Amino acid sequence: MENTPTTSKRQKRILNFAEEEKRQLIRGVKEWPRIWDITNPLHSNKNAVEQAWVHISNSLGKNVNECKAGWTSLRESYRYHARVARKHKSGSAGGLMLEEPSFSEAIDWEFAEEMAFLPNVSHKRK
């Protein structure tokens, strides 16, 4: 039996991306609101969304499924870190700040600032 470190399913989804590729993926998705903005008229158009993913995958030199899986991983990580930041913010010291930093600044995660374009990530769709 090989002695390899175990990796979670989430970690495996993003293994094929270097740090700068992750940033490029985030920028690419940000440019295509039809992917992430549920109020965008093209969000429910499967062909339009798929066309955006093809454009993103071509710009990264990866296949569409890798990009989608990588985005899912990044989005879930952002949600997790946002949840953690909200829990810490709601403590007794949370009300003592005179000027509150932007929420993305409060999230302790390397890609938080780049992902701040996402709508409120703590609520699931109805």
pLDDT category at 7 given cuts 50, 70, 90 is low
Q: Who contacts 103 (Cβ-Cβ below 8 Å, separation ≥6)?
A: 82, 85, 116
Answer yes or no: is pLDDT of 77 > 50.
yes
Per-domain boundaries in the chain: 11-89+101-115
Give the CA diameter of the chain. Answer: 57
- Give the pLDDT of residue 108: 83
Closest alpha carbon to 12 in 57, 76, 55: 76
- Give the pLDDT of residue 4: 46
Answer yes or no: is pLDDT of 90 > 80.
no
- What percentage of the chain reaches a pLDDT higher than 70? 71
Residue 47 contacts residue 53 (beta carbons within 8 Å): no
Q: Which residue has the higher pLDDT, 82 or 120?
A: 82
Kindly report, residue by residue over 17-74, the tens digit of the pLDDT.
Answer: 899 999 999 999 999 999 999 999 999 999 999 999 999 999 999 999 999 999 999 9
Task: For the chain, give the mean pLDDT.
Answer: 80
Closest alpha carbon to 21 in 111, 103, 101: 111
Answer yes or no: is pLDDT of 94 > 80.
no
